[in-house]
Structure 1
Amino acid sequence: MFAYQPSFVRRGAVSIAYYDIGQGKPLVLLHGNGEDSSYWTGQIAEFTRFYRVIAVDSRGHGASGCGSDGLSFALMAEDLKAVLDACGIQKTHILGFSDGGNLAIKFALTYPAYVDRLILNGANVEMFSGVKPQTQIPMLAKYGALSVLRHFSKTAARRCDVMGLMVHPYGVRMEDLERLTMPTMIIVGEHDLIREKQTRAMAAHIPDCRVEVFRDGDHFVAAKQPSRFNRTVIEFLLGRS
């Protein structure tokens, strides 16, 4: 069980859950597809030694509601802004994992003044060519099945909406990354499901960007190599790397 209790901000008919932990300069944590803020269990205790951590359950995930408007990164970027405004935060570091990394990109492009430093762990821009086929093909097959089942099951419909975030383009092109002028770090595993070519292309388009590749790591390096991951993140945020 996640050790922290959520607060909520209302966005129309939907409540967005977030966890406000610690003190100091804010650091937002954004989880991946189908997950919730408990993904960061191995990070929060360490990060709160230095930062006020705001971990957000994305719309349709965790303790957050879904609503009737479907799911999109544009909608979730507005949810994140609402959380930050409710917390009185005008500038923050953001760390996003997988779909959370894509959300971090969307938010940083939409509201760049809110973002101090940006960390993208296993994010991508190109939804098809950016992901290895051994991951993408089964995902497309599952999404196709859920697209049929959604007409018969509310549970399937919700799962289909969540999975759709990994299938449909989210309105960001590679050249858009040139507008991310804040210091940025991309973290991937050596055996990540994101193609190396995708990661290198993203880094080449972001003006101030470094790439950290975790040897023998996969997509879930934060969960599987927490000590190294936490140290890498903190050193970057403190400007030591």
Structure 2
Amino acid sequence: MKTGRETEEDFRLHYTEKGEGMPLVLLHGNGEDGSYFVRQIEFFSREYRVIAVDTRGHGQSPRGAAPFTLEQFAEDLRQFLDEMGLSRILLLGFSDGANIAMIFALKYPEYLEKMVLNGGNLRPSGVRAGAQLPIVLGYAMVAALSLLDKKLRRKKELLGLMVTEPHISKEELLKLCVPTLVIAGTKDMIKASHTREIHESIPDSCLCFLKGSHFIACEQPEEFNQTVYKFLKEK
């Protein structure tokens, strides 16, 4: 396995790469990094060139000076792909990574061969109340304390992404022509009805629920990997 950085003039995204073949880009969730996909990297690198990216302000990627938004993360991905010379990829996003993937697909569908959305949501209300309420309360508390402690500003930004974003239109998704697998856990923090809404909004997409929570890629790696692999291999 090798690691590297791809640069623009004044900003660098960290990534981990393994394998050869069709590029499969992995986008982690909020507050995580590419290592979340350790079991996916090992499995898919047998046949694909797997690239796990640390998004802006996550893992070993710097915060930079640009806005800390999912829209910006999608722009970062586009620039990263251009710098890597990747014009056609498979894209798998988890949680906020799935939201970034949807935003990216709407702006740059020409880059995508296929897309996998794991535990994504179109808007904050797509998260179950029992999971979202602690996030909202935590954000309010950290936002207040960050006025006194600069070290809390990063946590405020991270929580803010889950409280204020995303805002993805179903009408926009209806225009997508990217083959897509929508996959979530049976006990996901995303409402099952909301996951179905995403599936129903993306033409000809596939829907799959696996037994487990929001983190099925870690909890059920063999079943998750096989489900994704079958989708990627379908003509």
The question of a shared fold, defined as TM-score above 0.5 by the shorter chain, is answered with yes
The Cα shift of 1:171 comes to 3.8
Which residue identity is paired with 1:123? G
Q: Deviation per CA, 1:3-42, whole angstroms, max 9, x where unpaired? A: x553222345332111222100010100000000000011
Structure 1 distance, partners of 2:77, 2:65, is 18
Task: Supply the distance in 2 between the matched residues of 1:189 and 1:86 (Cα, whole angstroms).
Answer: 34
Moved beyond 4 Å, runs of 4+? none
Q: Which residue of 1 aligns with 2:225?
A: 230
Which residue identity lines up with residue 86 of structure 1 in the other structure? E
Structure 1: state its 5+ residue gaps.
Answer: none
The partner residue of 1:153 within 137, 149, 154 is 149
> In the alignment, is the contact (CA less than 8 A) between 2:136 and 2:163 conserved in 1?
yes
The Cα of 1:160 is off from its aligned counterpart by 0.8
Q: CA deviation at 1:167?
A: 1.1
TM-score, length basis structure 2: 0.96
Q: Which is richer in helix?
A: 2
Tell me the alpha carbon deviations over residues 157-195 of structure 1, each in whole angstroms, 9 at most, x when there is no partner: 011111111111334212211122111011111111100
How is 1:126-165 mapped onto 2 (pairs within 5 angstroms)? 126-128=123-125, 130-165=126-161
Unaligned runs of 5+ in 2: none
- Contact map agreement 2:176 2:202 (CA 8 A) in 1: yes
Equivalent position to 2:13, from 13, 16, 38: 16
1:70 corresponds to 2:84: no
The CA deviation at 1:68 is 2.9
Given that 2:174 and 2:202 are in contact with CA atoms closer than 8 Å, whether structure 1 keeps it comes out as: yes
1:121 alignment partner in structure 2 = 118
Equivalent residue number for residue 214 of structure 1: 210
Match of 1:197 among 193, 203, 211: 193
Per the TM alignment, residue 88 of structure 1 is displaced from its structure 2 partner at its CA by 1.1
| Distance in 2, Cα, partners of 1:134 & 1:32 | 19
Determine which of 97, 100, 103 is the counterpart of 1:100.
97
After superposition, give the CA deviation of every residue in 1:67-90 in whole Å (9 maximum; x if it has no partner). 233311111111111211122110
Pairing 1:181–2:177 present: yes
**What is the RMSD computed on CA atoms of the aligned residues?**
1.4
Do the aligned residues in 1 keep the contact of 2:121 with 2:166 (CA within 8 Å)?
no
TM-superposed deviation, 1:64? 0.2
- Deviations along 1:28-63, whole A, 9 cap, x unmatched? 100000000000011111100110011100101000
| One-letter identity of the residue aligned with 1:185 | L
- State the Cα distance separating 1:228 from its structure 2 match: 0.5
1:220 is matched by which residue type in structure 2?
A: F
What is the match of residue 23 of structure 2? 26
2:78 alignment partner in structure 1: 81
Aligned residues: 235
8 Å CA contact retained: 1:33, 1:98? yes
8 Å contact kept, 1:9–1:82: no
* Aligned residue type for 1:117: K
Describe the superposition over 1:63-116 as per-residue Cα deviations: whole angstroms up to 9, x where unpaired. 000023331111111111121112211010100000000000011111000011
Instruction: Compute the displacement of 1:206 (Å).
Output: 0.5
Of 3, 6, 29, the match for 1:6: 3
